[in-house]
Amino acid sequence: MPYNYNKADFLCSYFDAKELPLEKKPEVVFVGRSNAGKSSMINKLVNRKKFAYTSSKPGKTAAINYFSIDNSIYIVDLPGYGFAQRSKTERRGWGSLIETYFALGRDMRLVVLLIDIRHGPTEDDVMMYEYLMSKTVPFCVAATKSDKVSKTAAKEMVESISEQFGVNAFAFSSENGEGVDTLKAIIEDLTEAKDD
Ligand SMILES: Nc1nc2c(ncn2[C@@H]2O[C@H](COP(=O)(O)OP(=O)(O)OP(=O)(O)O)[C@@H](O)[C@H]2O)c(=O)[nH]1
Ligand SMILES: [Mg+2]
Q: Which amino acid is at 122?
A: T
User: Which of 131-135, 156-160, 176-180 is predicted least confidently?
Assistant: 131-135
- Residue 85: per-residue pLDDT: 56
On the question of pLDDT at 152 being above 50, the answer is: yes
Q: Tell which one of 13, 45, 55 to mutate to probe ligand 1, the residue whose CB is within 8 A of the most ligand atoms.
A: 55
Indicate which residue's Cα is closest to atom 2 of ligand 1: 145
Specify the pTM. 0.93
- Residue 108: per-residue pLDDT: 94
CA 106 to CA 129: how far, in whole Å?
Answer: 19
Residue 195, judged by CB atoms within 10 A of its CB (0-12, 13-18, 19+), counts as: exposed
Q: How confident is the model at residue 195 (pLDDT cuts 50, 70, 90)?
A: very low
Q: Answer whether 58 contacts ligand 1 (Cβ < 6 A).
A: yes
Indicate which residue's Cα is closest to atom 11 of ligand 1: 56
Indicate which residue's Cα is closest to atom 5 of ligand 1: 145
Q: Give the DSSP letter of residue 20.
A: S
Q: Which residues contact 110 (CB under 8 A, 6 or more apart)?
A: 28, 29, 137, 138, 139, 140, 186, 187, 190, 191
Q: Answer whether 176 contacts ligand 1 (Cβ < 6 A).
A: no
On the question of pLDDT at 196 being above 70, the answer is: no
13-58 pLDDT tens trace: 988 888 888 888 999 999 999 899 999 999 999 999 888 877 777 6
Which atom of ligand 1 is closest in space to residue 57's alpha carbon? Answer: 24
- Residue 98: per-residue pLDDT: 82
Q: Answer whether 144 contacts ligand 1 (Cβ < 6 A).
A: yes
Contact 140, 112 (CB under 8 A): yes
Q: What residues are neighbours of ligand 2 (ion), with CB under 5 Å?
A: 38-39, 60-61
Q: Answer whether 40 contacts ligand 1 (Cβ < 6 A).
A: yes
- Residue 107: per-residue pLDDT: 93
Q: Which of 11, 29, 31 is nearest to 21 (CA)?
A: 11
Ligand 1 center to 193 CA (angstroms): 31
Q: Which domains are seen in the chain, by residue range?
A: 8-15+23-191 (3.40.50.300)
Ligand 2 center to 36 CA (angstroms): 8
- Residue 21: per-residue pLDDT: 83
